[in-house]
Structure 1
Amino acid sequence: YPIVKKMAADAGLGMEDLMSNAFEIKKIKLTYYVSDIVGMPTLKDIVKELASPGRDPRKEFQAFSFDDTIHDIKDLVPGMRVPGIVTNVTAFGAFVDIGVHQDGLVHISQMADRFVKDPNEIVLVRQTIMATILEVDVKRKRISLSMKEKEILS
């Protein structure tokens, strides 16, 4: 950031030196750097980052992986719990990729333990979910899934 270079120069330091000097960071008068382009909230974020350089401010990322014991639709058994990724949301439910080259369907009636008027209230495309296999029709390549909590217990 050019603004950080200016902060470091005003403190008589290089950028690296500023980033490793908590005392100098605390001395920065943010009001001096407020402009039409950079506001106080942004400046506070910059100073916060200077105090902990290299830290990723995003939430911790959780990597997704399919169940590595399942490779084909024939590997599916009713009652199995499987991770999946929502690929499409329709008026009647959601299609979910569970890693078997055939998406399963979570019908709207199987999305929650309560009445669901609109599947978009429950899931989004690319959302990861856990689902229970209800039925598998290998011949017709149909997989019926449930997201209901009670399916876990039964």
Structure 2
Amino acid sequence: MTDYDGSDASSCHGSDSGYDDSGLQCSCGLPAKLRMSQTARNPFRLFYDCPRRYDQCGFFRWCDEPSLTGDRHADELNLIRHECTRLQRRYLKAQQDHENDREKWEMEKEELMSTLYKVQAELDEYIQRVKLAAESDLMPPVEPMWSSGKHETDDGEGAIEIHAI
């Protein structure tokens, strides 16, 4: 089985109880319990910790990290090497996600630009029709709508004259 970042997690799976045959023991001397991280930083990453629900001893170890050899220098280098590899995989995944998003955004942009050009062409066509109709000899001269003024009506009150096109 492969963890979310591509590392091998098959050695971490055991029985349904959360314990496996890894032989790891917490600082209390109890068999370490296998759990799954639910944090945003390490989603679904497996780890071992103290099986006690309360008063845990503080034991913690990621399941996908290399086993300790007992040589402090070699163990530290292995952990650093492992973390670099894991971070590189996360970086590559983020880079791929970014590229996929970019391609999706480009397609959406093209669709929107196409729609914009169609709407602009329709608008230009309507403007041309209105212009032709206004310039036609068949149309009576029309005052612009905004030049309407008040005219006196028979009863002496002012009225607003509205012209429709």
Give TM-score scaled by structure 2 length. 0.21
Higher-Rg member (1/2): 2
Between structures 1 and 2, the one with greater helix share: 2
Relative contact order, CA 8 A, sep 6+: which one is greater? 1
Give TM-score scaled by structure 1 length. 0.22
